[in-house]
């Protein structure tokens, strides 16, 4: 069912500092910051040869990463995103197997303009998993 690793998302308290760490210290190619008001985050993309790292900073009062940063004030790995060919088939398979899909269970349009779902960390080895239809 799983395809490529699309990205790993890391929540950071300070996006400018996070971008500097990846660009200057680690020598990676880092995009300019982008605000995603619909998703409550500001993001930079770190381009690697085989995948991307997304650094996420909270945007607005109801940011979905705010509680995570309250618990992890220096930042931390927030989720991993795997590609699937058919997100509805993937969801139906997982729900039938008893796994929990977050929210109302219907795919939403993610930060790349493609349908995504988030899966409950307790059902996936303690990791928040995002599925994105490739
Ligand atoms: Co993501």
The pLDDT tens digits of the residues spanning 2-27 come to 999 999 999 999 999 999 999 999 99
**What is d(CA 102, CA 77) in angstroms, rounded to the nearest whole number?**
18
**What is d(CA 87, CA 96) in angstroms, rounded to the nearest whole number?**
14
Domain ranges (residues) in the chain = 2-133
Question: Could you tell me the distance, in angstroms and rounded to a whole number, from the CA of residue 19 to the centre of ligand 1?
Answer: 17
Question: Could you tell me the distance, in angstroms and rounded to a whole number, from the CA of residue 89 to the centre of ligand 1?
Answer: 20
Q: In this predicted model, what pLDDT tens digit does every residue of 90-134 receive, in sequence order?
A: 999 999 999 999 999 999 998 889 999 999 999 999 999 999 999
> How many Cα atoms sit within 13 Å of 96 on the Cβ side?
6
Task: Pull the structure tokens for residue 73.
Answer: 């004030």
Active site residue 61: no
CB 42 within 8 A of CB 64: no
- Residue list, CB under 5 A from ion ligand 1: 9, 81, 130
- What pLDDT sits at residue 111? 83
Q: In this predicted model, what pLDDT tens digit does every residue of 29-69 receive, in sequence order?
A: 999 999 999 899 999 999 999 999 999 999 998 999 999 99
- What pLDDT sits at residue 124? 98
CB 53 within 8 A of CB 67: no
Superfamily of domain 2-133: 2,3-Dihydroxybiphenyl 1,2-Dioxygenase, domain 1 (3.10.180.10)
Query: Is pTM beyond 0.75 here?
Result: yes
DSSP 10-36: EE-S-HHHHHHIIIIIS--EEPPPEEE
Question: Could you tell me the distance, in angstroms and rounded to a whole number, from the CA of residue 25 to the centre of ligand 1?
Answer: 24
Question: Could you tell me the distance, in angstroms and rounded to a whole number, from the CA of residue 130 to the centre of ligand 1?
Answer: 6
């Amino acid at each position: 069912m799983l395809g490529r690793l699309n990205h790993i998302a890391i929540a950071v308290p300070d996006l400018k500092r996070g971008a500097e760490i990846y660009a200057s210290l680690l020598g990676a190619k880092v995009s300019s910051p982008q605000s995603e008001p619909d998703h409550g985050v500001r993001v930079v993309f770190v381009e690697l040869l085989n995948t991307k790292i997304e650094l996420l900073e909270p945007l607005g009062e109801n940011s979905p990463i705010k509680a995570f940063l309250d618990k992890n004030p220096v930042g931390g790995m927030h989720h991993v995103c795997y590609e699937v060919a058919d997100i509805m088939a993937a969801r139906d398979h997982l729900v039938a197997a008893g796994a929990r899909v977050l929210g109302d269970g219907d795919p939403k349009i993610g930060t790349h303009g493609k349908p995504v779902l988030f899966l409950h960390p307790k059902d996936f080895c303690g990791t928040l998993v995002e599925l994105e239809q490739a």
